[in-house]
Structure 1
Amino acid sequence: MRVLIAGAGRAGLSVAVHLAKMGHEVTIVDRDESIANSAFERHGLVSLVGDATDAGLLKEAEVARADVVVAMLRRDADNLAVALLAQAAGAKRVMVRMRDPDYRGVYVRAGVHRILSEIDVFIGAMGTAIEHPGVRHAMVLGAGESVAFEIDIPADSAVAGRPVSVIAGSAGFPASCVFAGLYRADGRIEGPRGSSIVAGGATVLLVAARDELADVIAFFHRRDPGIGGGQDRPR
């Protein structure tokens, strides 16, 4: 996949390096010559120096051939300009990093395919971690109404040793909760099936409505009365 990234600050360069390691063809454009030179010398990235809002420079970067154009400049006005120029040139997909939430409607009307807000991501992850210490990692999804998160299953949990189908059919299982993944002992993740066993001590990846997060954590952390007291096991 051909990816053009406008803005190679810390975040932009990190994304570019990651994509290049995954085998994608990445080109970056940045005003700072030292950043562009470093990106080429240290990471082998195709790098152009200049203003990414310049239509001529984007043409030189072969924006028309890009499968994805990502605008990660410091000003939303500049990101909007890059997005419009990329679309006019025929780029297949356009994504922007939004800094000012007031630009969301403008980006939508401009036909930007994906709008990513660092503030939303940070607040979602940090806020969830503060509110719910039982959550390991979290990411807010969509418009912020849902959360994907990881939790550890206590060895004495009432769900420990039970298959996913039994747990999901148990009384009290939160309506919005969905099993998204089960982590193996070696750290790899596998897609859960109805017969997959949720072992005590394992880490699970779940998705749930944000307002049900506390209920989900309480459900998975309730204790097995046969081991350490607590509520009844799921039936």
Structure 2
Amino acid sequence: MYVVIGGAGMMGLGLAQQLLKQGHTVAIIDIDPLACRFAREKIGVMAFEGSAVSTTVLLEAGIRQANAVVAALRDDALNLALVTLSRSYGISHIAVRMRDREFLEAYRLAQASHIISTVDLAVATMANAIEYPEVESMMHFEQGQVEVLKLPVPNGCYAAGHTVAQIAQDPRFPTGSLIIGYQCHSRANLEIPNGNTVLEAGSTILVVTRPESVHPMIDFLGIEASHLPTREVSHPNL
């Protein structure tokens, strides 16, 4: 796949490196000559110096041959322009990094295929990491409408020793949730479970659920919230 990335900031460069490792061909565009040089010499991708919302630069970067475009520029107005230009060149697979949620509807109208709010993702992940340190990772998709949780199966919880089918039929199991992955121990491969898969205590599961079901799911598994001791903060007299 040929991917054009607008923006050689930390996200653009990190994504370019990851896509290159996965075997894709990547071109990155940025107005900063040092960032372009870094992309070429340190990451090994094609880099084009100039504005990612310039038709001349986009054509030079091969926008007509691209299979996908990523808009990871420094502000939403530029990203929106890149999404619109990409559509005009017939690109259907366009991912955009959204900084300000006020641009959400504009991105939708411009027909961005994937809108990713890095701020919302970071805030939600950090908040849940503080409250539930046992939850190893959390991701959300479709502007937070769907959550993917990686959860431990504690000793003594109802899920331990029961099959996936039995758990799904339990009225306490949050409606609309689905167990999509199972790892019996930390060194085991992640498996796709079926109804007969028995969850062992100490194992890990991947669950798809809705945001309103995150806490009920955690409660169902018996994972306790972190109750950190409150520290008194003294303020010196000014």
Per the TM superposition, whether the score is higher than 0.5 is yes
Could you say which residue in structure 1 is the equivalent of 2:135? 135
Q: Deviation digits for residues 7-35 of structure 1, max 9, x if unmatched?
A: 01111110110011000111111111111
Is 1:81 aligned to residue 81 of structure 2?
Answer: yes
Could you say which residue in structure 2 is the equivalent of 1:183? 183
Could you say which residue in structure 2 is the equivalent of 1:229? none
Q: Distance in 1 between matches of 2:171 and 2:76?
A: 48
Could you say which residue in structure 2 is the equivalent of 1:233? none
Task: Give the CA deviation at 1:2.
Answer: 0.7
Higher strand proportion, which one?
Answer: 1
Task: Give the CA deviation at 1:183.
Answer: 1.8
Could you say which residue in structure 1 is the equivalent of 2:54? 54
Cα gap change, 1:146 to 1:85, in 2 (>3 Å): closer
Cα gap change, 1:42 to 1:53, in 2 (>3 Å): same
User: Is contact 2:71-2:96 (8 Å) kept?
Assistant: yes
Is 1:117 aligned to residue 117 of structure 2?
Answer: yes
Could you say which residue in structure 1 is the equivalent of 2:20? 20
Structure 1, gaps ≥5 residues long: 223-235
Q: Distance in 1 between matches of 2:139 and 2:76?
A: 23
Name the TM-score, length of structure 2 as normaliser: 0.86
Identity of aligned residues (%): 33
Q: Distance in 1 between matches of 2:211 and 2:112?
A: 26
Q: Deviation digits for residues 203-223 of structure 1, max 9, x if unmatched?
A: 11112222232222222228x
Is 1:41 aligned to residue 45 of structure 2?
Answer: no
Q: Deviation digits for residues 178-201 of structure 1, max 9, x if unmatched?
A: 102112432531111111121110
**For residues 92-107 of structure 1, what are the structure 2 equivalents within 5 Å?**
92-107=92-107
Could you say which residue in structure 2 is the equivalent of 1:150? 150
Task: Give the CA deviation at 1:119.
Answer: 1.4
User: Is contact 1:164-1:195 (8 Å) kept?
Assistant: yes
Q: Distance in 1 between matches of 2:30 and 2:184?
A: 41
Could you say which residue in structure 1 is the equivalent of 2:206? 205
Q: Distance in 2 between matches of 1:110 and 1:130?
A: 36
Cα gap change, 1:43 to 1:143, in 2 (>3 Å): closer
User: Is contact 1:63-1:89 (8 Å) kept?
Assistant: yes
Name the TM-score, length of structure 1 as normaliser: 0.88
User: Is contact 2:184-2:200 (8 Å) kept?
Assistant: no
* SS of match in other structure, 2:35: helix
Task: Give the CA deviation at 1:134.
Answer: 4.0
Cα gap change, 1:158 to 1:110, in 2 (>3 Å): closer
Aligned residue-pair number: 222
Q: Distance in 2 between matches of 1:215 and 1:109?
A: 34
Could you say which residue in structure 2 is the equivalent of 1:31? 31
Higher alpha-carbon deviation: 85-94 or 192-201: 85-94
Could you say which residue in structure 1 is the equivalent of 2:226? none
Q: Distance in 2 between matches of 1:178 and 1:50?
A: 46
